[in-house]
Amino acid sequence: MRHRRAGWKLGRNTEHRRALLRNLVTSLIVEERIETTLTKAKAMRPHVEKMITLGKRGDVAARRLAAAYLMTRDAVDKLFDTISPRYGDRDGGYLRIVHGGFRQGDGGDIAFVELLGSEKTLDEKRQKRAELRTKRAEENRKAMESAEAENKQAAETEAAIEEK
Amino acid sequence: MPNPKRRHSQARTSKRRSHDHLTAVSLSECPNCHERKLPHRACPKCGYYKGREVIAMKEETS
Ligand SMILES: [Zn+2]
């Protein structure tokens, strides 16, 4: 019987598990979307929801409780100022867990965890990353070209010296 | 030590093993790129799930 076996131990002892979950929750609040394993995603969900509930309370005591759990001040500020106000009319279910594939290497079941209502910021982030990528590719291409030209010039001058 | 009392025929072995087979994975069709994919999962080909949810795919570099 699997009575009284709710939750996930994640193969860690209590401190390790608590640290892992705090890290996951903090990352999710800062990044609005994270990639992890399905089991960790499911294990972190209640903790994220509790944090958002604290954020909705919004008083100083709630802020201190959140600060005691989250890893960074920025995360606390973001939770109280931008994330929690989004969910005023919603009682729980603040996350979306999307199943991905299986990780190359250990076959881990991959999941994406997102905060609901963060689609726009995520799209913007993605756009920015893509722009940066194309910019970097362009720079690389230019550097390669100039290096090639230099090489060519060097070879020519060498040849000229040898002719003399 | 326990030992077999009777000969175990080849047919008996075969009959037992007749159920030892794998079942094919059931795949559904991706509504975005019409590739076959695992159900309830983001499409590994185009990265879509339920309309959006792009797992940033590497663009084809020609
Ligand atoms: Zn697809």
pLDDT digits (tens, 9 = 90+) for A24-49: 999 999 999 999 999 999 999 999 99
Q: Is the pLDDT of residue A15 over 70?
A: yes
Tell me whether residues A98 and B52 touch, CB distance under 8 A.
no
Quote the ipTM score. Answer: 0.74
Instruction: Tally C-beta pairs within 8 A across A and B.
Output: 22
Taking contacts as CB-CB distances below 8 angstroms, the residues of chain A near B49 are 98
Could you give the CA distance from residue A98 to residue A59 in angstroms, rounded to a whole number?
33
The pLDDT mean for chain A works out to 93
**What per-residue confidence (pLDDT) applies to A100?**
92
Instruction: Measure B58 CA to nearest chain A CA, in Å.
Output: 10
pLDDT class of B60 with cuts at 50, 70, 90:
very low
Instruction: Give pTM, 2 decimals.
Output: 0.80
E strands, chain A, are 33-37, 95-102, 109-115
B8-51 pLDDT, tens digit each: 999 999 999 999 999 999 999 999 899 999 999 999 888 889 87
Could you give the CA distance from residue A132 to residue A128 in angstroms, rounded to a whole number?
6
Q: Does A64 touch chain B (CB under 8 A)?
A: no
**Rounded distance from Cα B30 to ligand 1 centre (Å):** 5
**What per-residue confidence (pLDDT) applies to B45?**
87
Taking contacts as CB-CB distances below 8 angstroms, the residues of chain B near A130 are 56
Q: How would you classify the pairing of strands A95-102 and A33-37? A: unpaired
What lies within 8 Å, CB to CB, of B56 at 6+ separation is A126, A129, A130, B47
Do the Cβ atoms of A133 and A141 come closer than 8 Å? no
Residue of A nearest to B59 (CA): A130
pLDDT class of B57 with cuts at 50, 70, 90:
low
**A75 Rama class: left (phi>0) / alpha (psi -120 to 50) / beta:** alpha
Least trusted range by pLDDT, from A42-56, A70-84, A107-121:
A107-121
Could you give the CA distance from residue A50 to residue A54 in angstroms, rounded to a whole number?
6
Report, as an integer, the average pLDDT of A108-130. Answer: 89
**What per-residue confidence (pLDDT) applies to A126?**
84
pLDDT class of A67 with cuts at 50, 70, 90:
very high
DSSP string for A122-136: HHHHHHHHHHHHHHH
Helices and strands of chain B, counted as H and E runs:
1, 2
Nearest by CB to B53, from A98, A101, A130: name it: A98
Report, as an integer, the average pLDDT of A78-101. Answer: 94
Nearest by CB to A98, from B38, B42, B56: name it: B42
Which helix or strand (DSSP H or E) is residue A54 part of? helix A38-57
Q: A14-31 and A38-57 helices cross at what angle (nearest 10)?
A: 70
How many other CB atoms are found less than 10 A from the CB of residue A18? Answer: 13
Nearest by CB to A119, from B42, B52, B56: name it: B52
Q: Is the pLDDT of residue B58 over 90?
A: no
**What per-residue confidence (pLDDT) applies to B62?**
39
Tell me whether residues B55 and A126 touch, CB distance under 8 A.
no
| Residue A90 DSSP SS3 | coil
Owner of token pair 């800062």? A30
